Amino acid sequence: MSKDPGIPPDKVEIGGHRSYLVYGGYRYLKLSLLVYVLSIAAYIVDDPPQGPSGNTWLGYTLGTVGALLIVWLAWLGVRKRRYHRGRGAMQGWLSAHVHLGLTLLVVATLHTGFQFGANVHTLAYVLMCLVIASGMYGVLAYALLPDRITGNRRDTGFRDMVAEVARLDETALAIADRIDPETHTVLLRSVAKVRLGGSAWEQLSGRYRQAGELDALQRFIASKKAPAVGGAPLTERRATATISFVADRMFDMGGERRGESLQQLLQTIAERKALVARINRDITLRARLSAWLYLHVPMTLGLLAALAVHILSSFYYW
Amino acid sequence: MLTIRYLNPDGSSTEQQLEDRDITIGRSADNLVQLPGLLVARQHAQATLEPPKGLMIDSVSPTGIETRGRSGLMRLKLGRGEEARIGGHRLRLEYEEARREWVLEIQLGSAREVLERADALTSLTAAGWRFRGPGLALAALLLILGLLLPLAQRHFADAHHQPVPLLPTDAVWLAGRISDAHASFGRDCANCHQEPFVRVRDAACLSCHQGIKHHSDNQAIRAVAGLDERRCASCHLEHGGPHAVLPSSPGVCTDCHATPHFKDFAGLPPVGDFARQHPEFRPTLNTLQDGQWRALRQPLGQPLNKARESSGLKFSHAAHLKVEGLKTPDGRERLDCASCHAPAPSKAAFEPIAFEPHCQRCHQLDLLTAWGAQRLPHGDDELVRATVGAFYDKAATGSAAPRRRPGESAPRGAPQSAAALVDEVFDKRLCITCHDVVREPGKPPQTRPTQLQQSWLVQAHFTHAPHGWVQCADCHAAAASTQASDLLLPSIQTCRQCHVDPGSDRGVQSACVDCHDFHKAQRLPFEQLSETGGGTLGHETGKTSAPR
């Protein structure tokens, strides 16, 4: 699979999520309904002497259909990256992939005859269920998240937002440098601590570690500022250490030009803070949009292996 | 002393010679080493060259120094060949042997580069998540653990090489629990699955189940049912649970036996299930037709005069089961079924009824005459006749007889000859009480040989053993039976009160094979067909013959 998650950060496709499911006048929905009805009806009608299992003519039939479906559905992953024959063709593949992928749940479950155990056969079944579950998450994610990503971006590309953070950093540093070295130092520290994104868990949970910006900065400010300002108590709960420092300065200095600079600095920092939050939100939404694929694809490879083990071992000891 | 070499982004470089060991680093012009960019503090750091250790750097600015992924360091020893970063600029200390000089190389960077945070983890891929690697690893793991190791263990394991513990064996392929009957050898799959990718052969089953017979000797019956092509495992499916290897579903049998044309074909009525589509029992009776015994099979409930069971005996169950009891030599006694019908040791059936243990205590064969009494033997007509004759001779003519004057007639009612007394014993007094007596012209009377049947439902097997908790009268209407020819077998309706088809929850689930044998051919052993791969037998013809 490609190293890229498949969705370039600033090229998330949206708007097509409704149409692919009903592609071609519900063509694949109808096909999948036919598969459901046929396999369930056959299962009900068939009354093998020893009870339903994979070892009856219906069991072999459902197993063959299921195995071919799995291979064909997995082939979509290869086909998808080989060539794009336009949006329609791709939508057709995707529509078939989703609808027929869901039928697998019925086909394969009936193939088992509800006989489960601690063996390679049930392992293949469980893997298949996990692949399908992750795929169902993917369908939901692509139905819900792209709109939210667009709403959060406000027509700005991801790279543009990152460049804007850099520009705001530069502006803030320049202003701080005009005020005094101490303020510049505090800003430097703050800039170094601002992080975009984070570990996979931070990305998915949306809770990003920003402690560096708060704790170290606040300690530094407290030590530097206490004698001059008269020791206004800094609480750990203040979430905007840089902003409060600049605000304190503003009132301490009194000077009009300095006050203006500090006001500018305050605005710039607040702007940056909001932008960083938006970028991290974007990262989180994209992570949640693509996370399922990191399970779907590897588990599909695992499923293909488990399927091979299942079939080979079944016929090795026929 | 120390050379500072500035490497510009455009590739050019400038050098600066410093005489002092102590240097200052910062953005303002009063520093010995001046670094541009807003990420550098005006006074950022102080450094001292301490050969041969290197450059000791102390950060003046709280921003600190960065090296090897750690940032905000306040003190750092920069050794030879080591690198540190200040405000986006890379500092590297070298000792140039040729010039015998320490050189601090500064690769000048741009603040923008740092601020754009190119190394930020902004996607799951950047955070280290991958598709192919984990997928291939999972696939490889499954192939190794699920296929290759079990195969290797199977291939190399023999009497001397036990499977390596903890590594997966072919047990991970086990699709379902082996039946209890086969569990003792079922651990080794190869005992049955003798050849890879080939279905379990009958030979594997027949190596233990020797002598098992086919379903029918009739090739036509086997052919129409496709039985010659079937393997043991077609019906006996393993890996289904403790008893699954015994076919319990009626479908195994009714696939053929339910078809209406089966009656024309095999002389058997169609049977679809037990609850509704099983015909009434058809006991096989001993009947007497034209003086000849014939076995006749007919359904229960047919008019009794059409064919009656003949045993050669007369017997009334009702007379013997009188509620008020019977007069016996030991006083009045009430009999019950067990008084005569004693279970055989297997409890499946009963001990045969015989005269001496069951009848004689009450029915002593005493011939009472005016001359006295004579006890007769049982079971031998000839001996009876001889005994009666001897008694007559002795009584009527011997010293024991009362003296008779000339002209005086014999006692009234007394037989006039030994033969007459024999006739009387057989025809009127003793034998005929219980036995059919046959008279043929010119021959002495004889009792008809008895034919006491032990089993009537010969096409099925029934055992009384599990039915011990049921009262005899629940199934056998003996108390109302006055004729020996009454057949006291229960109707199938009686059985259906408790027994139901497999899968029903309304009673005791009972499979076809609980009463009927499948492997019931008389002559043809199973292996004879399976060895030839299920062909036809040359000596058999296709004609049908109705089974008994």
- A127-152 pLDDT per residue, tens: 999 999 999 999 999 889 988 999 99
Q: Mark B469-481 as b/e (b = at least 16 C-beta within 10 Å).
A: eeebeebbbbeeb
CA distance B413 to B441: 25
State how far residue A30 is from chain B, nearest Cα, in angstroms: 32
Q: Is B251 in a helix, a strand, or coil?
A: helix
- Residues in chain A with CB shorter than 8 Å from the CB of B246 are none
Whole-number Å distance between alpha carbons of B516 and B510? 11
Q: Phi and psi of A195, rounded to 5°?
A: -115, 140
- Count of pairs with CB atoms under 8 A, one residue in A, one in B: 204
Q: Is B50 helix (H, G, I), strand (E, B) or coil?
A: strand
Q: Which amino acid, one-letter code, is at B32?
A: L
Contact B247 A53 (CB under 8 A): no
Name the minimum distance, in Å, from the CA of B132 to any CA of chain A: 5
Minimum mean pLDDT among A221-225, A310-314, B279-283: which range?
A221-225
Question: Is residue B19 classed exposed, middle or buried when 0-12, 13-18 and 19+ CB atoms within 10 A define those classes?
Answer: exposed
Point out the residue among A3, A120, A302 whose CB comes nearest to the CB of B125. Answer: A3
Closest residue, chain A, to B59 (C-alpha): A185
Looking at this protein, which amino acid is placed at residue B62?
P
Collect contacts of B469-474 with beta carbons under 8 A, ≥24 apart. Answer: B472/B337
Q: Please indicate whether, in this complex, the C-beta atoms of A49 and B252 are within 8 angstroms of each other.
A: yes
Identify the residue among B74, B138, B188 best suited for mutation to test binding to A, counting A beta carbons within 10 A and taking the highest.
B138
Tell which B residues from 207 to 266 touch A, by Cβ distance under 8 Å: 235, 237, 240, 244, 247, 249, 251-252, 255
Mean pLDDT (chain A) is 79
Mean local confidence (pLDDT), A212-227: 44
Rounded CA separation A316/A310 (Å): 10
**Helices A241-253 & A256-316 angle (0-180, nearest 10):** 180
Looking at the DSSP bridge assignments, the partners of residue B55 are B49, B78
Contact B127 A200 (CB under 8 A): yes
- Per-residue pLDDT tens for B321-351? 999 989 888 889 999 999 999 988 888 888 8
Residue A286 is predicted with a pLDDT of 93
- At residue A176 the predicted structure's pLDDT band, cuts being 50, 70 and 90, is confident
Which pLDDT score is estimated for A20? 74
Residues of B in contact with A162 (CB under 8 A): 116-117, 120, 122
Q: What b/e sequence results for B388-405 when a residue is b if at least 16 CB atoms lie within 10 Å of its CB, and e otherwise?
A: beebbeebbeeeebeeee
Nearest to B447 by CA among B295, B316, B314, B289: B314
Query: In the Cβ-directed half-sphere of B247, how many Cα atoms lie within 13 Å?
Result: 21
User: From the candidates A161, A289, A301, A303, which should be mutated to test the interface with B, based on the most B CB atoms within 10 A?
Assistant: A301
Please state which of the ranges A152-156, A188-192, A203-207, B96-100 shows the lowest mean pLDDT: A188-192
Q: Is B150 on the interface with A (CB under 8 A)?
A: yes
Of A9-18, A90-99, B59-68, B425-434, the one with minimum mean pLDDT is A9-18
Mutate one of B27, B70, B71, B125 to test the A interface: name it (highest A CB count within 10 A): B125
Collect all residues of chain A within an 8 Å Cβ-Cβ radius of residue B137. Answer: 298
- Predicted pLDDT at A87: 53
Closest CA to B114 of B76, B86, B74: B86
pLDDT band at A271, cuts 50/70/90? confident
- Distance CA(B478)–CA(B319), nearest Å, equals 10
Across the interface, which of B63, B189, B255 has its CB nearest the CB of A185? B63
- In the predicted structure, residue A7 carries a pLDDT above the cut 50: no
pLDDT at residue B484, rounded to an integer: 85
| C-alpha distance from residue A184 to each of A181, B18, B42 (Å) | 5, 28, 9
Q: How far is A60 from chain B (nearest CA, A)?
A: 14
Return the pLDDT at B37: 87
Interatomic CA distance for residues B458 and A269, integer angstroms: 101
pLDDT tens series, chain B, 548 aa: 788 999 998 889 998 888 888 899 998 899 999 998 888 888 899 999 888 888 999 998 888 888 887 878 889 999 988 999 998 899 999 988 888 889 999 999 888 888 888 888 889 998 899 989 999 999 999 999 999 999 888 887 665 667 787 888 888 998 888 899 898 888 888 888 988 899 988 888 888 888 888 888 888 778 877 888 888 888 888 888 888 888 878 778 888 888 877 666 667 788 888 988 898 888 888 888 887 888 888 888 765 445 577 888 889 999 999 999 898 888 899 999 999 999 888 888 888 899 999 998 888 888 888 778 888 999 899 999 999 888 888 877 665 555 555 655 555 566 778 888 888 889 888 899 899 898 888 888 889 888 888 888 888 888 888 888 899 999 888 888 888 888 888 889 999 999 999 888 889 998 888 898 888 888 777 766 554 444 333 333 333 333 33
A166 and B176 within 8 Å at the Cβ level: the answer is no
d(CA A188, CA A180): 12
B295 part of contact set with chain A, CB < 8 Å? no
The answer to whether A184 contacts B130, with C-beta atoms less than 8 Å apart, is: no
ipTM score: 0.81
* B508-509/B499-500 β-pairing: parallel
> Which of A163, A170, A291 is closest, CB to CB, to B124?
A291
Contact assignment for A170 to B38 by CB distance below 8 Å: yes
Query: Which has more pLDDT, A37 or A236?
Result: A37
Of A119, A135, A163, which Cα lies nearest the Cα of A9?
A163
The minimal CB distance from A5 to the residues B124, B128, B174 is found for B124
Q: What is the pLDDT of residue A124?
A: 95
Nearest chain A residue to B245, by CA: A50
- Owner of token pair 């006991």: B283
Using a CB–CB cutoff of 8 Å, tell me whether B69 touches chain A: no
CA distance B120 to chain A (A): 6
CB within 8 Å: A119 and B172: yes
Instruction: Give the nearest partner residue to B174 out of A119, A162, A188, using CB atoms.
Output: A119
Which of residues 108 through 147 in chain B touch A, CB cutoff 8 A?
Answer: 111-112, 115-117, 120-132, 134-143, 146-147
Question: How far, in Å, CA of A293 to CA of B143, rounded?
Answer: 22
The predicted pLDDT at position A212 comes to 45
Per-residue pLDDT, averaged over A208-215, amounts to: 58
- B70, closest residue in chain A (CA to CA): A192
Asked if A81 and A109 count as a contact pair (C-beta separation under 8 A), the reply is: no
The answer to whether residues B172 and B146 touch, using CB atoms and an 8 Å cutoff, is yes
HEC string of B373-440 equals: EEECCCCCHHHHHHHHHHHHHHHHHCCCCCCCCCCCCCCCCCCCCHHHHHHHHHHHHCHHHHECEECC
Q: Are B173 and B190 in contact (CB under 8 A)?
A: no
Cα nearest neighbour of B240 on chain A: A50
Out of A199, A301, A309, the one facing B121 most closely (by C-beta) is A199
Q: Do A170 and B240 touch (CB under 8 A)?
A: no
Smallest CA-to-CA distance from A159 within B111, B110, B123, B89 is with: B123
Please tell me chain A's helix, strand, coil percentages from 3-state DSSP, rounded to the nearest 5.
80, 0, 20
Residues of A in contact with B111 (CB under 8 A): 170, 173
Whether A301 and B235 lie within 8 Å, measured CB to CB: no
Whether residue B115 contacts residue A191, with contact meaning beta carbons closer than 8 Å, is answered with yes
CA dihedral B19, B24, B25, B28 (to 10 degrees): -110
Binned at pLDDT 50, 70 and 90, residue A155 comes out as: confident
> How wide is the angle at C-alpha A35 spanned by C-alphas A29 and A37, nearest 5°?
100
Q: Chain A: give the shortest CA distance to residue B126, in Å.
A: 9
- The B residues from 399 to 458 touching A (CB cutoff 8 Å) are none
Q: Which among B427, B422, B402, B399 is positioned nearest to B412, based on CA atoms?
A: B402
H helices of A154-180, where?
Answer: 158-179
Q: Cα distance from A251 to chain B (closest Cα, Å)? A: 24
Residue in B124, B141, B174 nearest the CB of A287: B124
Q: Please tell me the predicted confidence (pLDDT) of residue A135.
A: 93
CB contact under 8 A, A181 and B41: yes
Find the DSSP H helices in B215-370: 219-224, 232-235, 251-257, 262-266, 317-320, 337-340, 355-358
Which H/E stretch holds residue B4?
strand B2-7
